Structure 1
Amino acid sequence: MERSTGKRAGAAVCALAALLGSAACSAEREEPFGGRAVIEVDRPVALVDEKVRIRVTGLAPGQEITVSAETGSLHGDWRSRAVFRADGRGVVDLARAEPLRGTYGGADGMGLLWSMKAERKGVGSYRTEPPHQRPGLDVRLTVTGEGAELAERTLTRVQMAEGVRHRELTADEDGVAGTLYLPPEGAPKAAPALVIGGSEGGESMRDVAALLASRGHPALSVCYFGCEGRPKELARIGLEYFAQAAGLLARQHAADPGRLLVIGASRGSEPAQMLAQYHPGLVEDAVVYASSNQVGDAVSVDHLHAWTVDGEPYTEEDVPLDRVRGRVLGIVGDEDGVWSSEYRSEAITEEEGNELLVYPRAGHFVAGHPYLPEQRTTYPVEGGGEIDTGGTRAGNARAKADSWPRVLRLLRN
């Protein structure tokens, strides 16, 4: 049914006033009006990698509104905004409507989530507590118009589902440092995933491991340097350490040991490919983000080689992939500013069955799942200047949104 306008309502009021013998009739009623604005969300609580449909209803046709999103992090709040004009039914459907202006452009139903920016200056990366400490991330949505708040609603983005178990591992007690995430008790056996981060050290991809466990896959976020009991620098890291981590993961009750997948990002893509190549009985498939088939040097002033095998420096210039039991899936941006990951990953496709996904306008930050605030693409460096990691935040967001379902399919199949 067609929505009434203020003009029609005004005419009706004037007619009633005339019948009652009153001359009062305000010109303000010539303005269109809507009903009560409502933010509709199909899944207000959903896994962090799941799309949600956001619509604002109850507006006047053509009404201009601002839809904003806000969430917290370890370094303060992150916010995004987009200005829209309601359609003829008084609706703004974020999946279809193009913002007039805002923190993202073009119709994108999840644009408000990935385009959030830090309120504090100098904060480039969105970081929260580990998933087992903060299982859900609350995002507050608000709708404003003409200076007034018209509606608000909170989404909960789940990064660790209820029932998922975790155990922190130490090099001294377990031989491996990291965090093990396991699906809820009673879950069917599934392909496990070993997750290896890059030259930042520590456990930068712990949220990926927790999310995979939430989807039924035992996962281990392994720390190979920059944590207690491990080297301080990326230098002379033994391949046997990663094999030990993979073996520990494969022995978990919920793991299907013959289907283990290793995920490596940036410098972590090197040991991921090495593990698939030299331990095919342990590892089936590999997913490598911002990858390089060429082996880099140590990130150290005292050592030349990054990796060792049986205690000896690994001196191969390229990682051969002819012994990989399953598939290698490379995911890169065509504007990678750290290294030319597209060029340095071409050898992946020389073996049948492997695949290299190259995303336009994406840079080095293509790893992991989508729909979290995207990192800045430029960072200040000590001594002045900046490092440009390449691509755009929008390009990185699109790369993650397209590649993540492919990673999940590889795990399932």
Structure 2
Amino acid sequence: MSSQVRLRLLPSSRCLFDDPVQVEVAGLRSRQAVTVRARSTDEKGVVFSSAATYRADDNGEIHLDRDPSLSGSYSGVEPMGLLWSMKADTLHKRFQKTKSLNPHVVKFSVHDEEEEEEGRRVLAEADNERLLLGDRVSRIQVSEGNIRGVLFTPPGEGPFPAVLDMYTFGGGLSEKRASLLASRGFVVLTVPLYGHEEMPKNVREVHLDNLEKAIKFLRKHDKVGAKGVGVISLSKSGDLALSVATYLPGVEATVWINGCSANTFLPLYYKKSLIHPALLFDMNKIIYTESGGLIIKNGVHDPLAEENKDTLIPIEKAKGHFLFVASEDDLNWDSQGYVDMMVERLKHHGKDNFESVCYPGAGHYLEPPYGPYCPSSFHAAIGKPVLWGGEPRSHAAAEVHMWNKIQEFFRDKLSCDAEQTKAKL
């Protein structure tokens, strides 16, 4: 490494996963061309990397929030481009970061562009530790009755707004979104719909009763001050969140991200009675691509067809508020169309307890910001890799906006009552 070249990560090399970081290079020759690289390995051992070429200014400095990338994984001024443009070294891999205790480490390095590619020297390097768990945020494994999950609690006495995170993307339990929300001041319980080691292997139906117990668990927590809780979802759990908001008491705010307006794939039960049959999927409508990934957007049956009306969720009965988030380039299913369908239904019933936001150029898999964009990966229900849609730059911008929007929505709708919290103690 060159002793005079410095790679700086500001304001610190250690930050939360959803925090931006400012990358600066100093000590270069005037107008020197270099390649700045980022590299990381996920929980499954898959390597993700990106690279962009920059030219130093007259003072031998590069500022990624000011200077444009000339070529590489992206072009133009993109302060966080090295993070969201990282690609897996293997096709159809999704960045896996589900555990909250270990940070996501990204290795940044600067290489001399004027040397042969294979032999380019490392002029400077630095590690960025991106934490999923904020300072003094509590993490507790929950196994109470039929509730299986992880509870995250911010430091301090509260009261705090409470959120049930129904993360079901690909099955199993992911702590990333829940731990980051807790780091921003929410009490969050994350629960899996299926795929948990203590749950049945072949789930054939879903019961709202278990989620009702999870909501009651949250509302009784000493640090929770709101009269009701929030619910956040993604993909299949989107329609489940609609049913939770419609049929269960104590739900004040629901975030629906790229889901469906009808109950999909698995029949839904409550108090041993069938609430909704499942809206099914037509494998004959799948589009095969040269990459081996499938486009399954048109496979879901039409929920408005007469034979499928019983799968539609009567969200007009919900007493809380909705935030609908849709990606216009979702290739998993017609999220934008489902939002239009739900908005029309609510308006028809004289309801105004909703807001919606749609993102052009974004794909299905919307997550907290600054993780690698995922164009395709294995779909647990289909059993093959699928294309999620979207364009990396637009998708990354959508995640930043969405993440702020979600927090604003929950803070606005989940007002906390300090007196109520004191009464629980």
Q: After superposing the two structures, state which structure 1 stretch, 222-231 or 282-291, moved more.
A: 222-231
Aligned counterparts, 1:23-62, within 5 A: 36-62=5-31
Structure 1 equivalent of residue 317 of structure 2: 323
3-state secondary structure, aligned to 2:315: coil
Partner of 1:182: 153
Contact 2:5 2:25 in 1 (8 A): no
1:292 aligned residue (260, 264, 285)? 260
**TM-superposed deviation, 1:43:** 2.8
Larger Rg: 1
Q: Which of these residues, 142, 158, 163, is aligned with residue 131 of structure 2?
A: 158
Q: Take 1:128 and 1:308, find their aligned partners in 2: how far apart are those partners?
A: 32
Q: Partner letter of residue 109 of structure 2?
A: T
Residue number among 101, 109, 127 corresponding to 2:71 in the alignment: 101
| 1:203 partner amino acid | L
Distance 1:187 1:58, change over 3 A: farther
Query: How far off its partner does 1:52 sit?
Result: 1.6
Q: Percent identity?
A: 27
Tell whether 2:207 aligns with 1:238. yes
Tell me how far 1:385 sits from its aligned partner.
Answer: 7.5
Tell me the distance in 2 between the aligned counterparts of 1:126 and 1:276. Answer: 30
Name the residue aligned to 2:352.
352
Determine if contact 2:168/2:194 at 8 Å carries over to the other structure.
no
CA 1:326–1:61 in structure 2 vs 1: closer, same or farther (change >3 Å)?
farther
SS at 1:345's partner residue? helix
1:186-214 deviation per Cα after TM superposition (whole angstroms, max 9, x unaligned): 3421111101123622113x211111122
Higher relative contact order (CA 8 A, sep 6+): 2
RMSD (Å), alpha carbons: 2.5
Q: Which amino acid aligns with 1:410?
A: F
| DSSP 3-state at the match of 2:316 | coil
Code of the residue aligned with 1:393 in structure 2: it is P
Note if 1:310 corresponds to 2:271: yes
Alpha carbons of structure 1 residues 276 and 129: separation in structure 2 relative to 1, 3 Å: closer
Q: 1:101 to 1:44 in 2, by over 3 A?
A: same
Residues 102 and 379 of structure 1: CA distance in aligned 2, closer, same or farther (over 3 Å)? farther
Give the whole-Å Cα distance in 2 for the aligned partners of 1:234 and 1:338.
21
In the TM superposition, what whole-angstrom CA distance separates every residue of 1:276-334 from its partner, at most 9, and x where no partner exists? 1222x411000011121122232xxxxxx2x1122222233322222333321111111
Matches of 1:144 and 1:395, distance apart in 2: 28
1:248 corresponds to: 217
Choose which of 81, 87, 101 in structure 1 pairs with 2:51.
Answer: 81
Paired with 1:254 and 1:112, the residues of 2 have a C-alpha distance of 38
Question: Are positions 1:258 and 2:227 aligned together?
Answer: yes
Q: Find the residue that maps to 2:239 and give its secondary structure.
A: helix
Kindly indicate whether residue 332 of structure 2 is the aligned counterpart of residue 338 of structure 1: yes
Question: Residue 19 of structure 1 corresponds to which residue in structure 2?
Answer: none
Given the alignment of the two structures, is residue 376 of structure 1 paired with residue 375 of structure 2, yes or no? yes
Which ranges in structure 1 are unaligned for 5 or more consecutive residues?
Answer: 1-33, 299-304
Q: Residue type of the partner of 1:166? A: R
Matches within 5 A, 1:189-204: 189-198=159-168, 200-204=170-174
SS at structure 2 position matched to 1:67: strand
**Corresponding residue SS for 2:53:** strand
| Partner of residue 142 from structure 1, selected from 100, 109, 131 | 109
Structure 2 gaps, min length 5: 277-309, 413-425
Distance, in Å, in 1 between the alignment partners of 2:316 and 2:35 is 54
Q: Helix, strand or coil for the counterpart of 2:254? A: strand
- Which residue of structure 2 lines up, in the alignment, with residue 399 of structure 1? 398
SS of the residue corresponding to residue 339 of structure 1 reads coil
Aligned to 1:25: none
Distance 1:165 1:42 in 2: 25
Q: 1:130 corresponds to which residue?
A: 99
Q: Distance in 1 between matches of 2:384 and 2:56?
A: 43
In structure 2, the CA distance between the partners of 1:35 and 1:168, relative to structure 1 (3 Å rule), is closer
In the other structure, the counterpart of 1:410 is 409
Counterparts of 1:198 and 1:156 in 2: how far apart (Å)?
Answer: 26
Aligned length: 364
Q: TM-score, normalised by structure 2?
A: 0.79
**TM-score between both structures, scaled by the size of structure 1:** 0.81
2:280 aligns with none
